[in-house]
Structure 1
Amino acid sequence: MSGRIPSPFYIQNSGDNTLVGDILFPFAYDELLCRKVGEGAVPFVHIWRHEKAIVLGLRDRRLPHADRAIEWLKMQGYQVGVRNSGGAAVSLDPGIVNISIVMPNPDGRLEFKEDFELMYALIRESLDKLGMEAFKGEVAGSYCPGEYDVSVNGRKLCGISQRRQTKAFIVNAFVAAEGHAFRRGELIRSFYEVATGGDPELDAPRVDPATMTTLNEAGGRGATVRTFMRALAVTLSEWGGTIGRHPDKPSMAELEQMTAALRNRYDNASPAES
């Protein structure tokens, strides 16, 4: 991988409006198009936002009191879902820009770091257009921590995860552009306090809200959801992408069926609560 997406590819920017309803809907969309890309359809990049949701990782769902924590989130009006990629819990709202890169993998290779590098290159080049310098490396105390955390001024604003199929893969990223990073961190920390029952021995992130930031906080008023999405579009166009909806987009019936399948497969992955 040379840090580029094979051309031609489509840039589908759904981020001008925030999604409402089932948070697994955009994941189902990407999952279905990933299958089609694996069958020979052209790659694509999906940019989207959601109004109010918490997306969990599989290990979060397996915490002993996860059901109780999920109900607590739902009572506060959050959509909750378990994604089919790696990583841990993240908070989504209109200030978070989500990015999915969907690419073929005809040889079934397992060099996942190259795919993470691709997403990092996209974000780094886009932030450079806003006069901001991005770094990668785990930010201790952040939520959804990982080797490919993206940070500015030492604080995290982006996490990256991946979903692999037999002949294609999806690299996902959330980028905190605006909003209240500290409040998001407090919310995720509280989720883990409930989901673990306060047991410090369990395998759950130890979240320090002060480790998180947003583009707006780090770069001033010039860095917003809109300016970041424009920078993304420019970078992707420079890479050879074409703005527009993918011609092989799934039908509504396919989307509803896949959304239900994802929820059944991943939301029921936890052991019974003690």
Structure 2
Amino acid sequence: MINGRSNPGKYTEMSQLPQQMGLFEHVHRKAAEHNNSERVGETDKPAASGDMLIPFAFEETLCRDVGAGLVLPSIHLWSHQGGVALGLRDSKLPCAGVAMLRLEEQGIRTAVRHSGGAAVPLDEGVINISLILPKSRGKLDFHDDFRLLASLITEAVAVSHPLAAANVEAGEITHSYCPGDFDLAIGGRKFCGIAQRRQSHAYFVHAFVVISGSGQERGELIRRFYEEAACGQEGLSYPDVRPETLAGLGELGGPATTEVFTAAILQVLANRGIQVKPAAVLEEETGYTLDYEDIRVLEAARVLRERYA
């Protein structure tokens, strides 16, 4: 325990990942990172759509295929050029539609996601990580999977910034956006949140990790959204966001670019002895292919929009 909070690194043995996993990447990198990246054109394909629901629809489809045994358990790394993903309860606030329209007018895409949690900003300085896994018979404690993903993220920070990783703590950060039991923070400032989505035969555990840019500015964006969505009505249930509780890893002494962090995630998987097969390799070896433009993904996005909008 550190300052009364848990260190996620101690949970590394509580859940195990499969020895082989597929890898799907849809990471939009900033121009400065492109200039310094040796992986440009290889696995850092930008998001193909400005539709905020496409990444979630992609994972919904991939999760069904993992559950059906059509593809290996997988990891999905992605980012978005600029948007806010809302929780279902957020969308029911009295003036949520007006507040969402205000964001759209600023060029900030919006969507209501189907995994747990509340509103979060997703831009090119935020890396989203999802573990898509088949359900194990008799498995009941989903907290093990939260701990597993928390430990992977902490180990990835440690690859380039071990001192920052040593100070990562897991536990709810009050007054952050999308607060939860498995928030990850350094010095009481949150940089990551974790949620999950379960299907009949598979599930995914998802984390957003704020890497570069200002956590406080992102917090202010979400605070203003709630202020507008509530229309001044009292007694409503939504996060009381205080921007000073939020930060990017680069502000906390950790990795400051998405390139460094995503490379570290893959290194951590390799260190654990996990063989990662990129999407192109999966297609060559098994014929399996799935991307944002796939008709099944587009249909899943339509269904999600109708169900949760």
Q: TM-score, normalised by structure 2?
A: 0.82
Match of 2:60 in 1: 31
Match of 2:239 in 1: 205
Pairing 1:1-274 to 2, within 5 Å after superposition: 2-15=14-27, 16-19=44-47, 20-40=49-69, 41-107=71-137, 109-129=139-159, 130-131=161-162, 132-133=164-165, 134-219=168-253, 223-239=256-272, 240-245=274-279, 246-247=282-283, 248-250=288-290, 252-267=294-309
SS at match of 1:254: helix
User: Distance between the aligned counterparts of 1:241 and 1:140, measured in 2?
Assistant: 38
User: Structure 1 residue 84: deviation in Å?
Assistant: 1.0
Could you list the runs of 5+ residues in structure 1 that have no partner in the other structure?
268-274
User: Distance between the aligned counterparts of 2:82 and 2:203, measured in 1?
Assistant: 26
User: Distance between the aligned counterparts of 1:146 and 1:45, measured in 2?
Assistant: 22
Could you list the runs of 5+ residues in structure 2 that have no partner in the other structure?
1-12, 28-43
User: Structure 1 residue 17: deviation in Å?
Assistant: 4.5
User: Distance between the aligned counterparts of 1:159 and 1:17, measured in 2?
Assistant: 24
Answer whether contact 1:38 1:106 (CA < 8 A) is retained: no
SS at match of 1:107: coil
Structure 1 segments (4+ residues) deviating >4 Å: none
Which letter does structure 2 place at the counterpart of 1:69?
A
SS at match of 1:127: helix
User: Structure 1 residue 182: deviation in Å?
Assistant: 1.0
User: Structure 1 residue 241: deviation in Å?
Assistant: 3.2
Answer whether contact 1:137 1:148 (CA < 8 A) is retained: yes
How many residue pairs are counted as aligned between the two chains?
266
SS at match of 1:203: coil
Identity %: 41
Match of 2:30 in 1: none
Deviates more, 1:186-195 or 1:122-131: 122-131
Q: TM-score, normalised by structure 1?
A: 0.92
Deviation digits for residues 244-271 of structure 1, max 9, x if unmatched? Answer: 015433361111111111111111xxxx
User: Distance between the aligned counterparts of 2:25 and 2:15, measured in 1?
Assistant: 21
CA gap 1:79/1:157 in 2 versus in 1, 3 angstroms: same
Answer whether contact 1:45 1:101 (CA < 8 A) is retained: yes
User: Structure 1 residue 238: deviation in Å?
Assistant: 2.3
User: Distance between the aligned counterparts of 1:110 and 1:192, measured in 2?
Assistant: 34
User: Distance between the aligned counterparts of 1:105 and 1:2, measured in 2?
Assistant: 16
Deviates more, 1:122-131 or 1:53-62: 122-131
Deviates more, 1:244-253 or 1:166-175: 244-253
CA gap 1:237/1:243 in 2 versus in 1, 3 angstroms: farther
